[in-house]
Structure 1
Amino acid sequence: MNARTSRGALLATLVPVTVLALVAGCGHDPAAPARAGYDATKVAGLTVADGPSGLREHVPPPAITVDGFTGTPADRLAADAVADVEDFWRVQYPKIFGRQFIPVDHHVSYDSDDAAATVCGESVAGMPNAFYSGDCQQGRLIAWDRALISMYAQLGEETVPYILAHEYGHAIQDQARLVNDSTTTIVREQQADCFAGVYLRSVAENKSTRFALNTADGLNRVIVAAMSLRDGDYIGTMPFEHGSGFERAGALQLGFTDGADACSRIDDAEIAARRGNLPTILSSTETGEQEITRDSVQAQIDFVTRLFKLKDKPKVEYTGAIRGCPDAHETTPVSYCPSTNTIGIDLPGLAKRGRKVDSLVPSGDFDAYALVASRVLLAVEKASGRSLSEQTTALHVACYTGVYTDALARGEQPDSVLSQGDVDEALAGLLRDGLVASNVDGLSVPSGFARIEAYELGLKHGRTACDNTYTDAR
């Protein structure tokens, strides 16, 4: 987020530099019992539960041939993933599209560190990627770089099937003739993300013979993988637009929740509607990051109180998160104490949270500002007579934080302009520790999917939708 300006930089490469341990603790926080209105034990109709995720034990070798196969763990994992995706579409494609499924002709493994590496007659040296080609002389193919697969396997084995299910999504849209030469890249990419979500739903339903996917940490990690394939800071006018992390995660969720028919309906208008008021094109001279200072934080606090017409404004202390509050636990680096109506802020800790780093996971200032807004919104909850300690409180606060984000996107805060990557930063925070989607004690719900769903509801549909969805018993 910038003060009176917006952000720009280069279109990102597919693979960021480092893998972070993003979801440590997600799904394991204790939580207050949910009440009427929203079932926090479900995600897209499935029960939220920990359990195995990744490649199952004692899986037989996949019955596919892979050119360049080395037998390394990365190659074996990728081959199992492709075989599993093919098995899924072999059954589902005829049901969905009314025609026989035809698998791709070739599967190729390569090493992007090899200067002589080629696929389909083209050099792939220095290309840490996975891709589908429908016009190779050898026929249709799926290819992957072993280093890429190894990197995503560090995040979680369940992310590798997502990567390759996305590539197979391109083969599906090609075979089903859903795209042509005039189809924009962003439509192609988000349809493929969506088809990957359709496949992953079947894995989460325990229908895969090779992979498992739990609906807590496992699904959270897959969403992280989808976000990691985001464009950089230029989107909207670039010829190879793929979409922001917010959009790509949303496309995956669409397939997971609504199925293949929803994927087939993705077009430029559908993507624009999902994007809503969010910015898409940024200046090449700006970073999009605003220094987190007392003044910049106070400006956001003042904006939230004005936006929600909060008459009893909370006091703000910049000496650290509040300790010893009689009716709430400390949440670092920002906490809210209802009995004194006070927000305590550890400014250095907040600045650390909002620091931009080069990583697989989006990071930056808006993760910090969204957290501050969410704690102010607990004062809004108190003023409206809502409970501050339930799971529905956590999701209602996340939803209201989406409302705050949309107001920034609309330009309702003249001193701050939402940058293109800001929502990605907020989503990363929702997946990392869920504090933005937490109650007064810092307790969230296990499902990052549900946290993001709540945030997006407020972002797209406003305050009334939050109130109607996340209700508590008064």
Structure 2
Amino acid sequence: MLRSSGRLADVTVLITLVAVVSGCTQPVPGRPVAGEGVTRGTVDTSFIRGADGSPIDQLAAAAITDVEQFWKTAFPETFGQDWKELSGGYYSVDTSSQSAKPPPCTEKALDVEGNAFYCPSADAIAWDRAALLPVLQDSFGDSAVVIVLAHEMGHAVQRRMGITQELERRQPEKYPTILTEAMADCYAGNFLKWVNDGEAEHLSIGAESLDSALGALITFRDPVGTSAGDRSAHGNAFDRVSAFQDGYQQGTKFCAAMTVDNRPFTQQSFTTAADQSRGGNLPFADMLDSVLPDLNAYYEAAVRQAGGRWVAPKITTVEQEPDCAGDQGPIAFCPADAAVEIDVNEELPKLHARIGDYATGTLLASRYGLAALAATGKPVQGDGAAANALCLAGAYTREVFTRQQGFGLSPGDLDEAVQVLLAHDYAGRDAEGGSAVGPGFKRVEVFRTGVLEGLSKCGIA
């Protein structure tokens, strides 16, 4: 997390998924979750070339059928032209079979292994039904499969709006891969909102399924330290989740209007050899030593700006989950004595090791956010307090992200924030632990508000 210098950037934007020939990345192993079924009944798979009628192809058929229906209405409304169905169709490839035929844009079936992609030259979408879709389904639920295919359809939308491979090659500065991938993620968000609103005939996706899908999405990020300027860059987890959420909230015209001028990205490369050598992560004890004084300085300035009086919270370390004020998780703000208790033995060090140092930073920033609310006379209990504390954690993250020198974020830290927010509601709990921001999709949304818009949106001004 600690770096001496870095690129100054405004923060905006969210996620893509799988694909190969079109440039999408291979997935990395995720943490299995129990995913809900999202289909209503069975769907005829006969329009898919190579389909075997299996449940995974039925799920793919349901997703493709509904996303086609979505664009039949959304495309004319967005671009003023009729939607054109894919001329090359759809291909389900059994990469475990030696007799499987290769889909367009490949030479052999194994070229599809572990991937899904849109082939622009053939105007077709293909996927691996043996080593990709079932893995996503098992690890993250049915909705992960749906988002992958919706993302690939997003590339077909781009082609129909005139963003072709030739144009991308001739004008890479105008249509970099990271932008076109974010746009496809955004279009996937448009579709999932339509499904969530109950408009789809074959799919039904609720909050739990959406959280599971986002958990899958963050596994498709670029390797930590990849520059946003890399010609093959697809985006970090924060950028890709941001693009998806923007699509979910803003609509298709918003996604279609994305350009390099209005869509800055948070992804950045390492700026020091030392930071790169440790993967952008400080050891647990070093992280506490570094971030606590910085949090104190940041919130002192914020509270004074709001007309309050800041007193640095007393820091107490405990060997188990704090219990000074309700169940807040491994870090707690204790209103009675204006203290912050930190679990240094059990869950917090484990989260730090499993996710990264800014999982620790995000949770600490939210508890300091409660201290800032108290210092400005604002409530620290209830749904509003929980959301404001989480928003303040985002505002602090904005500050350390945009620093060019001193203590700041390393590549991967924003992704770690997204991961801990999706997996746990600790950062979204109030000072009693009784109210919490949820589901995970909402926690990321509130956190992003602080990151993108700063203190003014977080209840202490």
Instruction: State the TM bucket, normalised to the shorter chain.
Output: 0.7 to 0.9
Point out where structure 2 has 5 or more consecutive residues left out of the alignment. 8-22, 304-309
Q: Secondary structure at the match of 2:155?
A: helix
Instruction: Say which SS state the counterpart of residue 127 (structure 2) adopts.
Output: strand
Secondary structure, counterpart of 1:125 in structure 2: helix
Q: Which has the higher contact order (CA 8 A, sep 6+)?
A: 1
Distance in 1, matches of 2:405 and 2:5, equals 12
Q: Which amino acid aligns with 1:342?
A: A
Percent same amino acid among aligned pairs? 28
Relative to structure 2, which stretch is displaced further, 404-413 or 233-242?
404-413
Map 1:346-365 to 2 at 5 A.
346-348=343-345, 349-356=347-354, 363-365=355-357
Q: Which residue of structure 2 aligns with residue 305 of structure 1?
A: 296
Secondary structure, aligned partner of 1:108: strand
SS at match of 2:92: strand
Aligned match of 2:417: 426
What's the secondary structure of 1:271's corresponding residue? Answer: coil
Whole-angstrom distance in 1 between the partners of 2:243 and 2:251: 11
Contact 1:85–1:161 (CA<8 Å) still a contact in 2? no
Q: 1:115, CA displacement in angstroms?
A: 6.7
Match of 1:404 among 389, 396, 411: 396
| Matches of 1:462 and 1:423, distance apart in 2 | 15
Q: Confirm or deny that 1:176 pairs with 2:167.
A: no
Q: Which residue of structure 1 aligns with residue 20 of structure 2?
A: none
1:315 match? 314
* Residue deviations 1:320-359 (CA, integer Å, cap 9, x gap): 356553xx21333212211122222121332210124xxx
Q: How does 1:114-193 map to 2 (within 5 A)?
A: 118-120=102-104, 121-125=106-110, 127-135=113-121, 139-146=122-129, 147-154=131-138, 155-179=140-164, 180-181=167-168, 182=171, 183-193=175-185
Change in CA separation of 1:419 and 1:452 when aligned onto 2, cut-off 3 Å? same
**Aligned partners of 1:75, 1:289: CA distance in 2, in Å?**
40
Q: Which residue of 1 is the match for residue 340 of structure 2?
A: 343
Q: For residue 144 of structure 1, what is the amino acid of its counterpart?
A: W
- The reply on whether 1:16 has 2:28 as its aligned counterpart is yes
Query: In the TM superposition, what are the counterparts of 1:230-269 in structure 2 within 5 Å?
Result: 230-233=221-224, 234-269=226-261
Output the CA distance in 2 between the equivalents of 1:462 and 1:372: 17
Q: SS at 2:142's partner residue? A: coil
Q: Superposed, which structure 2 residues align to 1:251-290 within 5 Å? A: 251-272=243-264, 275=265, 278=266, 280-282=268-270, 285-290=276-281
- Displacement of 1:3 in angstroms is 5.3
Task: Provide closer, same or farther for how the CA distance between residues 322 and 347 of structure 1 changes in structure 2, counting only shifts above 3 A.
Answer: closer
| 2:16 aligned partner | none
Q: Find the aligned partners of 1:432 and 1:20 in 2 and give their Cα distance.
A: 11
2:77 matched residue in structure 1: 95
RMSD: 2.6
What is the identity, as a one-letter code, of the residue corresponding to 1:91? Answer: T
Once residues 454 and 77 of structure 1 are traced to their aligned partners in structure 2, the CA distance between those partners, rounded to angstroms, is 32
Deviations 1:174-231 (A, max 9, x none): 01214533221112111111111111111011011111012x2222223333322211
CA contact (8 A) 1:81 1:161 kept: yes
* 1:53-72 paired onto structure 2 within 5 Å: 54-56=38-40, 58-62=41-45, 64-72=46-54
SS in 2 for 1:142: strand
Q: Distance in 2 between matches of 1:173 and 1:338?
A: 52
Paired residues of 1:321 and 1:332 also in contact (CA < 8 A) = no
Query: Shift of residue 418 of structure 1?
Result: 0.8
Question: How far 1:412 moved relative to its partner?
Answer: 7.4
Aligned residues: 419
